[in-house]
Amino acid sequence: MLAADRLIALALMAFSVFVMWYAQRLPVGWEAETGPGAGAFPFWLGLGMLAASGAILARSFVTRPHSGETFIPDADAIPQILGVVGLLLGAIALIPLLGAYIALMLFLLAYLRLMGGHGWLLTGILTLTTPVFLFFFFEVTLKILLPKGVTEPLFYPLYAMFF
């Protein structure tokens, strides 16, 4: 936990420095017409964040808070968490290519079958009914089109039917 605490504090400090450097692309001081420059707010907030996260880092060497604890107490959970994050990122990456429906079906299939260990019946029902529900809710009811990717032509008959 102590190492994680330090790493997170360091990451926040790095982000603060980046924000301060980036904010200076715009005026940070007082402008005659418009008062505080456009970069002033992010610059000073970045400085505040740098000071506070720096203090957290410094404190970790003095009081050593949480030093007896582990960051993720249950080690068996780590592959599960990484797996879920991987599946999630994979699904988002596939959306522009295969469209939201196929990507989400693959996501549900992998999640329920591999991570959840559910039977084919439950996996099949949820994998097939969820995209149907999403289509009717978002596209037909709310008129919000979800990305289709290469599956776009398959939807032409459905568009003709519902729009």
Q: Report long-range pairs for 53-62 (Cβ below 8 Å, ≥24 apart).
A: 53/9, 53/12, 53/13, 53/16, 54/9, 54/13, 56/5, 56/9, 56/12, 57/6, 57/9, 57/10, 57/13, 60/2, 60/5, 60/6, 60/9
Residue 94 contacts other proteins per CB under 8 A = no
Q: Distance from first CA to last CA of the chain, Å, rounded? A: 55
Write out the E strands in the chain.
30-31, 35-36
Residue 35 contacts other proteins per CB under 8 A = yes
Among 68, 76, 153, 156, binds other proteins (CB under 8 A): 76
Whose Cβ is closer to other proteins: residue 144's or residue 160's? 144
Q: Which two tokens stand for residue 58?
A: 């410094």
Residue 122 contacts other proteins per CB under 8 A = yes
Residue 26 contacts other proteins per CB under 8 A = yes
Task: Using CB under 8 A, list all residues that contact other proteins.
Answer: 1, 4-5, 8, 12, 15-16, 19, 22-23, 25-26, 30, 34-36, 38-39, 41-42, 45-46, 48-49, 52-53, 55-56, 59, 63, 65-66, 71-72, 74, 76-77, 80-81, 84-85, 88-89, 91-92, 95-96, 100, 104, 107-108, 111-112, 115-118, 122, 126, 130, 134, 137-138, 141-142, 144-147
